[in-house]
Amino acid sequence: MDKIEHIGIAVKDLEASNALFAKLLGTPHYKIEDVASEGVKTSFFQSGPNKIELLEATKPDSPIAKYLEKKGEGIHHIAFAVGDIVAEIERLKGEGFIVLNEVPKKGADNKLVAFLHPKGTNGVLVELCQEIKEG
């Protein structure tokens, strides 16, 4: 894995949290994106070289809604940038990690993503993401 790509934070009210994180980081979010397939609306902040993703549920049965119900707001996942997500999924499966979606799916921010089950990673939901190359 190349680096931490972003940290995902589950929030109940994206608009309120956008205002809060703008105050915290001293800079407003630079984009908002709906990922309909995941039932989630996300916003992104840049903090120096790092990114923060806020996630709000848009459907009551979305994974984020379930997470908020169970655990409340807070750090939801850590995302790592990878060069070849398919190879990385194979490698991690070989190491015994539980991959939640073995076929990478389109996530927010023009990325192919896959998640590792937190059961196998000390309770941390890990996201792998690979930039989708244009053309």
Question: If binding is defined by CB under 5 A, does position 8 make contact with Zn ion?
Answer: yes
* Minimum distance of Zn ion from residue 16's CB (angstroms): 20
Among residues 79, 85, 116, 128, which is the contact residue for Zn ion, using CB under 5 A? 79
Size of the site for Zn ion (CB under 5 A): 4
* Minimum distance of Zn ion from residue 22's CB (angstroms): 19
Contacts of 94 (CB under 8 A, 6+ apart): none
* Minimum distance of Zn ion from residue 108's CB (angstroms): 7
Question: If binding is defined by CB under 5 A, does position 99 make contact with Zn ion?
Answer: no
* Minimum distance of Zn ion from residue 76's CB (angstroms): 8
State in Å, rounded, how far the first CA of the chain is from the last one: 24
CB distance 110 to 104 below 8 Å: no
* Nearer of residues 4 and 98 to Zn ion, judged by Cβ: 4
Nearest residue (beta carbon) to Zn ion? 8
* Nearer of residues 26 and 77 to Zn ion, judged by Cβ: 77
Buried-state track 76-109, b at ≥16 Cβ within 10 A, e below 16? bbebbbbeebeebbeebeeeebebeeeebeebbb
- Alpha-carbon distance 90 to 94, whole Å? 6
* Nearer of residues 18 and 96 to Zn ion, judged by Cβ: 18
Helical (H) or strand (E) element with 60: none
Residues that bind Zn ion (CB under 5 A): 8, 53, 79, 127
